[in-house]
Chain A
Amino acid sequence: MSTSLEMQNIQKFYGPLHVVKDFNLHIKPGEFVTFLGPSGSGKTTALKMIAGFETLTSGDIFLGGQSIVDLPAYERGIGMVFQNYALFPHMTVAENVAFPLTVRKASRQEAGEKITRALHLVKMDQYKGRYPNQLSGGQQQRIALARAIVFNPSILLMDEPLGALDRHLREHMKIEIMRIQKELNMTVVFVTHDQDEALTMSDRIAVINEGRLAQVDDSRTLYGKPKNRFVASFVGESNMIPCRVDSVDNAAGRVTLAGAAPGLAQLSGQSKGDQGWIFIRPENVEISARSPSSDLPNTLDGVVESALFLGEMTRYLVRCGEETITVKRQNRGQPHFAGGTPVTVFWKAEDCTVLN
């Protein structure tokens, strides 16, 4: 049930349009990998090439060590959950789930057992005789999942499967999908543009931008140590402050922030004199009442432009000269700063990185 998937140097052109560029990705057996990217980034095209709905312009795809690019979709043995579920409207739930077995001419008894097991796994045992339009969106989603896993596919593809669900159901289905994936130890390729889904569910996330793999890493690394500005701004919220590297000391360096203030930051391969951007997450920025000016590094004076109360946290926008810094503070009894208050913001050197 768990198979490795390897994408080797894949290119895809639509006429002059280069939609997938130099894809190289190895997915281990039982791994949950998410393709995350804005719409039009090429993530769905990449998925369709794995499924066999799109041909590759060049490159190769190996499923369990075997090249599958010459196989038509129906011989690849892949399970797939579609964005709008694509349940067959003229078939009952049981018939839908049975479909992969029917077309493979499985024996009736074997099919019966597998259907029961799949429906049990998605907790839809009682709905066998219903038609898809008699089910809610979440239930349809479960049936689509059951249909995709009923024939023990080598790998499961999911194309934005949670997009059509409301927020509450989406949270619930995330956990369900993770549970089923662990239970069956399935290799999963999941496509989404929603970073929350990607961060919660994946073993590794492949961030895709303009057809290129921008970064492939686990959630923590991706969030904490993004490799470039695109990843930093696409995954989670971030502050980007222009800076110049003044001196290099191991992986850290002294920098000048926004042309004036001194700073200390982690470097990602920059050398002295390079221009770059300081990247810092809003939750890592401290805020306090304006203190007499000091020469501490990573400290900026500013004025609160707006303070949004969000329940568990408050989100401040602080104007510091040219820059606007976003600050997120847990509401745990700290002083509150209303709009117009002069404040000082600062952060630790280990929480910020210089990106090109």
Chain B
Amino acid sequence: MNMLNAKTAGSMGSQPAQRPDFMSSLLLNRWIKGGIVAGPLIILMVGFLFIPLSYIVWGSLEGSKFNFSHYTRVFSSEINFNILLRTLHIGLIVTVISVTAAYPVAYLLTKLKAGALSTVSIFILIPLFTAFLIRTYAWMIILGREGIINNALIGLGFTSTPLPLLNTTFAVVVGMAHVFIPTAIFTMYSSMVRIDHEFARAAQILGAKPVQAFLRVYLPLTLPAVFSASILIFITAIGFYITPALLGGPSDTMISQLIVAQMTTLLNFELGYASSIVLLLVTICILFVASFFVPLEMIWSSSTAASSDEELRSGARLLRHLKRAIGPALLVTETVLHGATRPLLTHDARWLWAYTIVVLVFLTAPLIVVVILSFSSSPFVVFPPPGFSLQWWQKLANAKEWHQSFFFSVQLGIASAFVATIIGTMGAFWLVRTKFLFKRMLFLFSLSPLMVPVVIIATSLYVFEARLRILGTFGGLVMGHVLLSVPYVIVVMAAALRNFDESLEPAASVHGARPLQVLRYITLPILKPALLTAGLLAFLTSFDELLVGIFLLGRQTPTLPIKFWGDIKYQIDPLLSAASTLIVILVAASIITVQLVRARHNARTAVSTAE
């Protein structure tokens, strides 16, 4: 019976094919329809990702000369090789810190009721969607010579001269952890929320101590979530540009900075290409290894996670043997931990709450610092500010270039979000609704812009668009941003489509709705919240985007992030705080609006019935 249902779902709407008029029969042909729906996505991926990447590969070899010397330079030059190692090193540290710090918070979130959950998640969502630049800027204020930390330490008499906190590895790690903790929380939460807490209760009623129930039942169930979050963070971290560039010192250079420097200032293109390819290969290797442990699509889209009855992956089998080997040690650890944690396990999870609040403060405090600083009376970045004044807001109100950048970014964001939502939604329909082989592969393929480090996408689009002579045009920039945001749209829309009750469309159709009426009255209205979310994500992706902008922008108005970037590097003053505050407020307002729309829609359409 299931198979029969699946069959109908697959062929839904593509019914009797002997209609007289030509257009309809054309639309009813499964291949033609598939082509129309999938076409834009495939053109985007192949045309703006794979072909440009092949240009880079070709360029790194100096074309048909097959000259591998640039690769040799990446590995033999001690400076370059050290940069590569350092990148991996910092990436690893940041990953471990972010995931460890985020796990308890994600765990607490899974236990919360809807009301508390939405309150807490606002405190995580706002930092998550605040531009990397603004968050990094906040850390520059906090860690600076006259920042809060140094001022506090001096005030308390621990030290007499300011500590050099900024431009250190420490600063890079803190800044990046701040960037990735919200990501880690949400990635892990979205798969952890589907693990039933009854499992742990069942373990306890069967005699497991709380620690044992957690270590032996709950934790193992969450390991795929932890692992996929780690992979996501690691591959993003090693391609990261903004934070290391602004918070790190010269000895903290990461590989993205190397590539940007080669491409924009040193103009050593081949070495830039070769470094990009090395970074790309490292990323691909990591993903390849990871695919032995978790299904790759789970990394970006936890809703597609494989069902548990699937065969154990080879990697997981390896882990099982390992676990058996360390069994006795585990038992001792459990007993010790049980003794240690017993007083902490209160019924209201007080310690977990305390910890979560500390994390939330860590996540939001930098933003608050930025807001406070925007009202500073001092012309310098000093914290706490010596007095209150609106001078920076007045300056912002009169700063023509800021206004231009702002409106240009909004325009760009809307254009990119619009195009990305259409392409991504059509692609998601194609990926979810059609039956074909290699469906998983194609889903991964459509997420590939998330796997390729942004700096490489920027470099390759730069070369490619220069060839096409669309470099520096608005359209060229939009395409770059569309490429980066389409995967988010696909993830959101594919999840929504998978949850779509598949009997609704036949119900509409049998009661007389033509295919376009079904789309207008049923499909799109039900998908509205998902479309809004997808559009917002696409807009924010474009609105925050720096690297692609730097590479593809011509002599136009700089986008907001580029303007911001230029000013930060030139001189940091409280004007940036005022600008940041404004942006944070706008972003927060749009997130809250979308959340409210979703909540209203969900309250109405939730599947549950009022018995």
Q: Within 8 Å CB of B507, what residues of A? A: 80, 82, 86, 88
Given A72-B19, A73-B506, A134-B610, answer yes or no on A79-B511 (Cβ-Cβ < 8 Å): yes
Q: Is A70 touching B18 in the complex (CB atoms < 8 A)?
A: yes
Residue of B12, B513, B528 most packed against chain A (CB within 10 A): B513
A19 and B507 CA atoms in complex are apart in Å by: 23
Tell whether A40 is near chain B: CB-to-CB under 8 Å. Answer: yes
Q: Within 8 Å CB of B33, what residues of A? A: none
Chain A proximity mask over B586-611: 1 for CB below 8 Å, otherwise 0: 00000000000000010011111111
Given A72-B15, A89-B605, answer yes or no on A100-B511 (Cβ-Cβ < 8 Å): yes
A77 and B512 CA atoms in complex are apart in Å by: 7
Tell whether B152 is near chain A: CB-to-CB under 8 Å. Answer: no
**For chain A residues 29-88, which have a beta carbon within 8 Å of chain B?**
39-40, 44-45, 48, 51-55, 69-80, 82-84, 86, 88
Q: Within 8 Å CB of A23, what residues of B? A: none
Residue of B16, B17, B501 most packed against chain A (CB within 10 A): B16
Partner of B606, one of A14, A48, A55, A133: A133
Tell whether A293 is near chain B: CB-to-CB under 8 Å. Answer: no
**For chain A residues 310-328, which have a beta carbon within 8 Å of chain B?**
none
Given A48-B8, A52-B16, answer yes or no on A74-B604 (Cβ-Cβ < 8 Å): no
Q: Is A136 touching B610 in the complex (CB atoms < 8 A)?
A: yes
What total of chain A residues lie within 8 Å of the partner, measured CB to CB?
Answer: 48
Q: Within 8 Å CB of B1, what residues of A? A: 39-40, 44
Tell whether B522 is near chain A: CB-to-CB under 8 Å. Answer: yes
Given A52-B16, A73-B506, answer yes or no on A100-B512 (Cβ-Cβ < 8 Å): yes
Q: Is B511 touching A103 in the complex (CB atoms < 8 A)?
A: yes
Q: Is A82 touching B503 in the complex (CB atoms < 8 A)?
A: yes
Tell whether A190 is near chain B: CB-to-CB under 8 Å. Answer: no
Partner of B611, one of A44, A84, A136: A136
Chain B proximity mask over A111-153: 1 for CB below 8 Å, otherwise 0: 0000000000000000000011111110010000001100100
- Of all chain B residues, which has the CB nearest A56? B16
A82 and B509 CA atoms in complex are apart in Å by: 12
Q: Is A104 touching B16 in the complex (CB atoms < 8 A)?
A: no
Q: Is A88 touching B504 in the complex (CB atoms < 8 A)?
A: yes
Given A45-B4, A53-B8, A84-B501, answer yes or no on A133-B510 (Cβ-Cβ < 8 Å): no
A148 and B511 CA atoms in complex are apart in Å by: 7
Tell whether A330 is near chain B: CB-to-CB under 8 Å. Answer: no
Q: Is B511 touching A55 in the complex (CB atoms < 8 A)?
A: no
Tell whether B514 is near chain A: CB-to-CB under 8 Å. Answer: yes
A73 to nearest B CB, angstroms? 4
A132 to nearest B CB, angstroms? 8
Q: Within 8 Å CB of B19, what residues of A? A: 70, 72
Q: Is B610 touching A133 in the complex (CB atoms < 8 A)?
A: yes
Tell whether B517 is near chain A: CB-to-CB under 8 Å. Answer: yes
- Of all chain B residues, which has the CB nearest A130? B610
Q: Is B609 touching A135 in the complex (CB atoms < 8 A)?
A: yes
Chain A proximity mask over B1-21: 1 for CB below 8 Å, otherwise 0: 101100110011001111100
Tell whether A99 is near chain B: CB-to-CB under 8 Å. Answer: yes
Tell whether B508 is near chain A: CB-to-CB under 8 Å. Answer: yes
Q: Is B522 touching A131 in the complex (CB atoms < 8 A)?
A: no
Given A44-B1, A89-B604, answer yes or no on A55-B503 (Cβ-Cβ < 8 Å): no
Given A44-B4, A69-B16, A88-B504, answer yes or no on A74-B607 (Cβ-Cβ < 8 Å): no
A61 to nearest B CB, angstroms? 11
Tell whether B526 is near chain A: CB-to-CB under 8 Å. Answer: yes
Q: Within 8 Å CB of A86, what residues of B? A: 501, 503-504, 506-507
A147 and B504 CA atoms in complex are apart in Å by: 13
Given A70-B18, A90-B526, answer yes or no on A52-B604 (Cβ-Cβ < 8 Å): no
Tell whether A102 is near chain B: CB-to-CB under 8 Å. Answer: yes
Q: Within 8 Å CB of A76, what residues of B? A: 510
Q: Within 8 Å CB of A82, what residues of B? A: 503, 506-507
Partner of B511, one of A39, A80, A134: A80
A165 and B206 CA atoms in complex are apart in Å by: 35
Partner of B526, one of A53, A72, A89: A89
Q: Is B510 touching A103 in the complex (CB atoms < 8 A)?
A: no
Tell whether B339 is near chain A: CB-to-CB under 8 Å. Answer: no
Q: Is B522 touching A133 in the complex (CB atoms < 8 A)?
A: no
A134 and B603 CA atoms in complex are apart in Å by: 10
A72 and B525 CA atoms in complex are apart in Å by: 23
Q: Is B609 touching A133 in the complex (CB atoms < 8 A)?
A: yes
**For chain B residues 389-431, which have a beta carbon within 8 Å of chain A?**
none
- Of all chain B residues, which has the CB nearest A90? B525
Tell whether B521 is near chain A: CB-to-CB under 8 Å. Answer: yes
B215 to nearest A CB, angstroms? 40
Residue of A52, A90, A135 most packed against chain B (CB within 10 A): A90
Q: Is B506 touching A99 in the complex (CB atoms < 8 A)?
A: no
Q: Within 8 Å CB of A73, what residues of B? A: 15, 506, 509-510
- Of all chain B residues, which has the CB nearest A12? B4
Q: Is A83 touching B7 in the complex (CB atoms < 8 A)?
A: no
Q: Is B4 touching A102 in the complex (CB atoms < 8 A)?
A: no
A133 and B606 CA atoms in complex are apart in Å by: 6
- Of all chain A residues, which has the CB nearest B24? A72
Q: Within 8 Å CB of B609, what residues of A? A: 132-133, 135-137, 140
Partner of B605, one of A90, A136, A148: A90
Q: Is A74 touching B605 in the complex (CB atoms < 8 A)?
A: no
Q: Within 8 Å CB of B514, what residues of A? A: 74, 103
Q: Within 8 Å CB of B607, what residues of A? A: 89, 133
A71 and B522 CA atoms in complex are apart in Å by: 21
Q: Is A88 touching B510 in the complex (CB atoms < 8 A)?
A: no
Q: Within 8 Å CB of A40, what residues of B? A: 1, 4
Given contacts A52-B509, A133-B607, 14 further A-B contacts (CB under 8 A): A14-B3, A14-B7, A44-B1, A51-B510, A52-B510, A53-B509, A74-B512, A80-B510, A90-B525, A90-B526, A99-B508, A131-B605, A140-B609, A157-B510
**Can you list 12 A-B pairs with a CB-CB distance of less than 8 A?**
A40-B4, A52-B509, A73-B509, A73-B510, A74-B512, A82-B507, A89-B501, A89-B605, A103-B511, A133-B607, A136-B609, A157-B510
Chain B residues near A (Cβ < 8 Å): 1, 3-4, 7-8, 11-12, 15-19, 501, 503-504, 506-515, 517, 521-522, 525-526, 528, 601, 604-611
